[in-house]
A = this chain, B = another copy of it.
Amino acid sequence: MFSQTTEYALRAMACLAMRPDHLTSAVTLAEQTKVPANYLAKVLQQLAGAGLIDGRRGVGGGYKLARRADHIKLLDVIGAVAPVKRIETCPLGLTNHGKNLCPLHRKTDMAAAAVIEIFGNTTLSDLLTDPEAPKPLCDTNATQQLTVHGRIVG
Residues of A bordering B, CB below 8 Å: 1-2, 7, 10-11, 14, 33-34, 74, 82, 84-85, 91-97, 100-108, 110-112, 114-115, 118-119, 122, 126-128, 130, 133-141
Contact = CB atoms under 8 A, between A and B. Distances in A.
Determine chain A's interface SS by DSSP, over half rule. loop
Contact of A114 (B103, B107, B114): B114
A137 B92 contact: yes
Contacts of A14: 104
Contact of A104 (B1, B11, B106): B11
Given A7-B91, A92-B137, A103 B115 contact: no
Contact of A103 (B82, B104, B126): B126
